[in-house]
């Protein structure tokens, strides 16, 4: 019928590149931009089907994050604003790789049947489209639109150039029936930041904080931060690498800074010692650093683990104020569960520190979808990857209780310590992006907490000392030959490798080492940490040889 012929016709205009096999992977499809037209077109179809199936707004983001400017990629945001449900990933893979339009129509037909998607009745589907600043983004966005409009009733809404987290945020709040324009996003961030600053206990903050210097990775994050700055009060930000001159992700950005542990381009010797932050190419990762004077561009890196530790410390403090009921027996405390989620890449010193604070620390495999899902099991779940992607999730139940707590006319006069702690947690819940890790909102939360504590970046960095670590990648023929378990800490195949890794690791004090197949590149990654740089290097090198 009509739907079939539209699909047949439009898909024949987007033939897949021959001999290329793509996989949805940890974070959507990514490849050289020149071969992605057909993939993005097909993901447009998928987004429309997903919207029909869920009867909700869906997001489609065109970005390759921290990868080089000539790459691009595409990923889907589900109705909650989170990642596409894992249950649909096999369909995404099949759709991207189907050889021709006849097979495509057949595949879609079968899937629509299997998933019971209401195609017959004319329904409406809404897909919000976003893209980062990559030059290939515009024509790929057009391909996505074509894919979407080949499903009857589906409507694409082009939101323009956005950070990945902005698009996820918009999808989430549109589905909650709220206004969710870009300006709403900026206002919510700046208002909740202001709220946290206003709640700083008198005397405890450093009144004059030095300026923050931000590396925008020559991408969308720097651009958006310029806009945010205009509605923001109480923070002095200077933006470097805002994209007007340099190349996206070229020796700039959070991925580069975290992996290479050097100062990004665009910084001057005079910046040494200053508090600096770095965003990645689509602004969903954030790390801090400060350059060490006369050191060949070396830095003190304050990574995702330390951001996590700062957040955890602050939240734990607020919870203990709330649960301190002395002299206020009338109030019930809320038995809020607090959990921290890390991956095997978390520095061992950070895990020790968090456990020492008395926090529950759990591990998942690499990839936001796994961490996010785990964090959602707690009243307050905080997750971060060492690379700077993470956020805080607060349960509806807790938020309601906090709401009541913050407005309750208490006997001990309003403005009690408990009320303030409740207000702070509510402000955190509004500032932080509940859909996905967000460098802009994360940055504002870090800045608010540093002011609250009266801490410099150096004081913050002293929370614990990172163990020396080394990462290597090994090119292999078939990365899927390596199979891991226990949140990627143990190799189960090929047989025998884990025993050999154990034997190597045992040679080093505080040694820890794991290998895992990358989810984004054709390599196997090796991570090692030990008590000295040299030991970490040696351990990584000898284990890399085992995999080779």
* CA pair distance 126, 69, nearest whole angstrom: 29
Task: Flag whether 525 is marked binding.
Answer: yes
Q: How far is the CB of 304 from Zn ion (least distance, A)?
A: 12
Task: Flag whether 548 is marked binding.
Answer: no
Which helix (H) or strand (E) segment is 188 a member of?
helix 182-198
Q: How far is the CB of 524 from ligand 16G (least distance, A)?
A: 10
Sheet with 469-475, side-by-side order of all strands = 469-475, 523-529, 512-517
78 vs 282, which CB is nearer to Zn ion? 282
Q: Which of 506, 528, 504 is nearest to 515 (CA)?
A: 528
User: Which entry of ligand 16G, Zn ion, none binds 280, CB below 5 to 8 A by partner kind?
Assistant: Zn ion
- Look up residue 262 and give its DSSP letter: B
Q: Is 457 within 8 Å of 447 (Cβ atoms)?
A: no
Beta bridge partners of 302: 288
Sheet with 237-240, side-by-side order of all strands = 237-240, 212-215, 275-279, 286-291, 299-302
User: Which entry of Zn ion, ligand 16G, none binds 451, CB below 5 to 8 A by partner kind?
Assistant: none
Task: Output helix, strand, coil percentages for the chain, rounded to the nearest 5.
Answer: 40, 20, 40
Q: Is 168 within 8 Å of 84 (Cβ atoms)?
A: no
167 vs 368, which CB is nearer to ligand 16G? 368
Task: Flag whether 323 is marked binding.
Answer: no
Binding to Zn ion, residues 56-95 (CB under 5 A): 65
368 vs 474, which CB is nearer to Zn ion? 368
User: Which entry of ligand 16G, Zn ion, none binds 282, CB below 5 to 8 A by partner kind?
Assistant: Zn ion
Residue 153: strand, helix, or coil? coil
Q: How far is the CB of 283 from ligand 16G (least distance, A)?
A: 12
Task: Flag whether 99 is marked binding.
Answer: no
- Single out the segment in contact with Zn ion by CB under 5 A; choices: 31-39, 277-285, 433-441, 501-509: 277-285
29 vs 314, which CB is nearer to ligand 16G? 29
* CA pair distance 470, 525, nearest whole angstrom: 11
Q: How far is the CB of 389 from Zn ion (least distance, A)?
A: 7
Is residue 280 a contact point for Zn ion (CB under 5 A)? yes
33 vs 435, which CB is nearer to ligand 16G? 435
The set of catalytic residues is 65
Chain mean position to CA 245: 26
Q: Which of 85, 109, 113, 83 is nearest to 98 (CA)?
A: 109
Residue 17 is encoded by which pair of tokens?
A: 């590149």
Q: How far is the CB of 387 from ligand 16G (least distance, A)?
A: 5
Instruction: Please report, as ranges, the residues that interact with ligand 16G according to CB under 6 A.
Output: 26-27, 65, 366-368, 385, 387, 389, 518-521, 525
Please report, in range form, the residues annotated as the binding site for Mg(2+). Answer: 65, 280, 282, 284
Please report, in range form, the residues annotated as the binding site. Answer: 65, 280, 282, 284, 385-387, 516-520, 525
- Residues of this chain that bind Zn ion (CB under 5 A): 65, 280, 282, 284
């Amino acid at each position: 019928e009509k739907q079939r012929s539209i699909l047949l016709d439009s898909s024949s205009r987007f033939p897949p590149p021959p001999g290329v096999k793509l996989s949805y992977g940890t974070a959507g499809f990514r490849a050289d931009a020149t071969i992605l037209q057909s993939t993005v077109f097909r993901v447009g179809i998928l987004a429309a089907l997903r919207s029909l199936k869920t009867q909700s707004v869906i997001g489609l983001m065109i970005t390759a994050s921290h990868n080089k400017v000539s790459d691009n990629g595409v990923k889907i945001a589900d109705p909650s604003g989170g990642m596409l449900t894992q249950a649909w990933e096999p369909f995404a893979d099949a759709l991207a790789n189907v050889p021709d339009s006849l097979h495509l129509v057949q595949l879609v037909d079968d899937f629509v049947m299997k998933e019971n998607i209401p195609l017959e009745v004319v329904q409406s589907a809404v897909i919000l489209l976003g893209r980062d600043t990559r030059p290939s983004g515009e024509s790929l966005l057009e391909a996505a639109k074509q894919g979407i409009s080949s499903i009857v009733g589906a409507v694409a809404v082009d939101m323009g150039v956005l950070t990945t987290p902005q698009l996820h945020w918009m999808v989430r709040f549109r589905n909650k029936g709220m206004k969710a324009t870009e300006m709403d996003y900026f206002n919510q961030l700046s208002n909740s930041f202001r709220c946290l600053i206003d709640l700083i206990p008198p005397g405890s903050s450093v009144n004059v904080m030095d300026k923050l210097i931000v590396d925008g990775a020559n991408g969308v994050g720097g651009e958006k931060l310029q806009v945010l700055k205009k509605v923001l009060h109480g923070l002095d930000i200077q933006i470097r690498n805002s994209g007007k001159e340099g190349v996206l992700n070229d020796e700039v950005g959070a991925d580069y800074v975290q992996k290479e542990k050097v100062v990004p381009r665009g910084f001057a010797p005079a910046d040494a010692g200053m508090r600096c932050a770095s965003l990645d190419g689509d602004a969903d990762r954030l790390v801090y650093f400060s350059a060490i004077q006369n050191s060949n561009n070396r830095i003190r890196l304050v990574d995702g683990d330390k951001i996590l530790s700062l957040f955890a410390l602050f939240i734990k403090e607020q919870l203990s104020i709330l649960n301190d009921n002395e002299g206020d027996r009338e109030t019930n405390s809320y038995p809020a569960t607090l959990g921290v989620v890390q991956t095997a890449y978390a520095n061992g010193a950070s895990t020790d520190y968090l456990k020492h604070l008395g926090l529950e620390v759990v591990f998942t495999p690499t990839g936001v979808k796994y961490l996010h899902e785990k964090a959602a099991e707690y009243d307050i779940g905080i997750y971060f990857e060492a690379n700077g992607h993470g956020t805080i999730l607060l349960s509806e139940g807790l938020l309601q209780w906090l709401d009541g707590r913050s407005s309750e006319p208490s006997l001990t006069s309003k403005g009690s310590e408990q009320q303030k702690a409740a207000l702070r947690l509510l402000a955190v819940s509004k500032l932080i992006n509940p859909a996905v890790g967000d460098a802009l909102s994360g940055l504002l939360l870090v800045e608010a907490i540093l002011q609250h504590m009266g801490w410099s970046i150096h004081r913050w960095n002293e929370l614990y000392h990172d163990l020396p670590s080394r990462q290597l990648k090994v090119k292999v023929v078939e990365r899927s030959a390596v199979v891991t378990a226990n949140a990627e800490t143990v190799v189960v195949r090929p047989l025998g490798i884990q025993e050999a890794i154990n034997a190597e690791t045992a040679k080093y004090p505080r040694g820890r080492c794991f290998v895992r197949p990358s989810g984004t590149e054709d390599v196997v990654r090796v991570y090692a940490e030990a008590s000295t740089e040299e030991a970490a290097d040696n351990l990584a090198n000898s284990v890399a040889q085992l995999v080779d």
